[in-house]
Structure 1
């Protein structure tokens, strides 16, 4: 059985757990206690030298990094609906995975790190960065339901968690009607599981 090492309040962990559930794949979830430094223990560092969550263990195969896990699971399950084979669509998915690792991490995710985890970042820098990428996602969703195709792909899953929880970092989503509708479509997918919400930021 696949094993997912995760931390419940991590959006990176959530995107991997969400996709496992959307695919209906049998798995075990192992919580990594970040507060106690389990992610820096010798045993965990053998799984992921970077000391980060999540990590997927599938038999002898170990896959660190949330976006890599999305790719692995889609390929493992043979789900070309979630990860298209066509060159242009595959490239478009990769582009959004880069956005998830770049602008989303530096914007909405970073803003939430301040309020939820006490990160020493500057809200006046990261909140405008969050709105800059949200404006681009809002524009990309104009006239379409999903980011790449006429059905969801791992691009949508990679962006979902931190955008959905952006208000916890004082990033207001009320000005993004396309994004709000898109979040609702993801939450309506069979097998959807939510990330725990914290009483922080705008939802405090």
Structure 2
């Protein structure tokens, strides 16, 4: 397998993290976003939307980070990571949708402002980030993982941008359940860290 990625993309980190958790030794191919390599004709053949990550599984190309998580879980028959029962599968899908929605428009967008210079209203996206963090904090009360009794791809999908939310000036210090959950993800066998930048505010302990 090959993974086209960028080390500062949280979407790409989701895919890289899950590959590592599954102990899949994929070739990492860095796409230079600064030179707009993701918009070059050759890359657009892999993903017409011009976004990382893209997974190449021996000629089968999967774009979109959450789609990659589902593909890998199905391909490896990793049932613990993606439950097959209707209730369990729906619980995971709910959080994948939130990762593509509230997380993307909250902590992800806040970080895009500071790390990549995106033209979002910083106050607005930081407020959105806190709203979803408050929700996740409440969901994690009395439980270890977000969608099931064990880690699933929902945890993988949420991890990266929440872990680096302080880079977008989103203070996580008030979210003890969230911070404890982050540490549990980081303790998983095969965990690989999301590259840090020096931008933003200090991370919560």
TM-score (norm 1): 0.98
Residue ranges of structure 1 left out of the alignment (5+ in a row):
none
Structure 2 counterparts to residues 1-204 of structure 1, below 5 A: 2-203=1-202
Residue ranges of structure 2 left out of the alignment (5+ in a row):
none
Q: Distance in 1 between matches of 2:202 and 2:63?
A: 31
- 1:19 Cα shift? 0.2
Write out per-residue CA displacement over residues 91-117 of structure 1, whole angstroms, 9 at most, x where no aligned residue: 010000000000000000000011111
Write out per-residue CA displacement over residues 36-61 of structure 1, whole angstroms, 9 at most, x where no aligned residue: 11101111000000000000000121
Q: Distance in 2 between matches of 1:203 and 1:117?
A: 19
Aligned alpha-carbon RMSD (Å): 0.9
Secondary structure of 1:203 counterpart: coil
Q: How many residues end up aligned between the 2 structures?
A: 203
Q: Distance in 1 between matches of 2:135 and 2:71?
A: 27
TM-score (norm 2): 0.98
- 1:16 Cα shift? 0.3
Secondary structure of 1:202 counterpart: coil
Q: Distance in 1 between matches of 2:89 and 2:161?
A: 22
Secondary structure of 2:137 counterpart: helix
- 1:203 Cα shift? 3.4
